[in-house]
Amino acid sequence: MSLALSVLDLVPVRSDQTTADAVAATLDLARAADDLGYRRFWLAEHHNMPAVAATNPPVLIGLVASATDRIRVGSGGVMLPNHAPLVVAEQFALLEAAFPGRIDLGIGRAPGSDPVTSWALRHGAGGVSDEAVTRFPEYVDNVLAMMEPDGVGLALRGGQHILKATPVAGSVPQIWLLGSSDYSARLAAAKGMPYVFAHHFSGSGTAEALELYRTTFQPSPELAEPRTFLTVNASVAETADEAHRLALPQLLQMLALRTGQPLIAQRTVEDAETIVDAGLPEAHEGVVEAMRSRWVIGDAATARAEIERLATTYGVDEVMVNPVGGAFRGTDARTAPARLRTLELLAR
């Protein structure tokens, strides 16, 4: 393919897996992406979700970067209101020092969790408060400044104190703003930062957000022109029928999330088929069909053509794929064959 391909991973946990199994499958996927020539491998941040083990992007990034050789590894993303800016800056400065030129820091504004978990993330100190969200642009500036070799000056008690994320920085990570509304598009444009709209999650408003970003972009010392790419959910197999079967567990997972149902570990393909064959409520069928229509599901030729079409439609030269294929009963718990096959078929 003429465009670059990258990978987004939530470290999904199936009903037949432990967390250790899910992490092992992710490392296997990352090594394959590296060998296949994918550009990036990003890890998400979600909390207190039975089917998602991507709770701590910096830890996962260290594991993935250690298991690979070439591919850029990053966060998609770190939800900044959950964390002190200095901690984020220290984590990613250290990762960049260990793996120079290979680390991306994607920053988001959403909590990535429920209100109770957000409260716990901040030691019970009000959770992700309105103040944390309101001060998001300031927090982004703090992270950027703290990772620079000279650090940032902090005026405190009549003196000037220098804060540095790491003592002797040789390079800094590439920093992206992520979002699913026009807020981050405006902020990234104003700050002259690269930007990614969460098309894989939202599925609507992508064109408007990217157009807003491009038309209001202000060049910065780090970036002369707008830079963005597209994210998509994908299930690719030898046949379209198989790809659709493999997509069912994740479709039901997203249906539960969007309709307020209890969240559980990801079902096997057979268990998902049993639920669908028994019949979904009519309103839920509409939600599933709407999601399916926005995902890339099919055989290799069809899927590659659809990704090329999306890249052309949205004017991007890179597409980040979230491989969502589930697993059949009896699959080795430390592997994710359908997710791996998606990457292999798209990379041909």
What's the whole-number mean pLDDT along residues 129-142? 80
The CATH number covering residue 234 comes to 3.20.20.30
pTM above threshold 0.75: yes
pLDDT band with cut points at 50, 70 and 90 for residue 118: confident
What's the whole-number mean pLDDT along residues 266-295? 96
Domain count, the chain: 1
- Tell me the residue range of the domain where 176 lies: 4-347
pLDDT band with cut points at 50, 70 and 90 for residue 1: very low
Q: For the segment 208-250, what is each residue's pLDDT rounded down to a tens digit?
A: 999 999 999 999 999 999 999 999 999 999 999 999 999 999 9
Structural contact between residues 77 and 43, judged by C-beta atoms closer than 8 angstroms? no
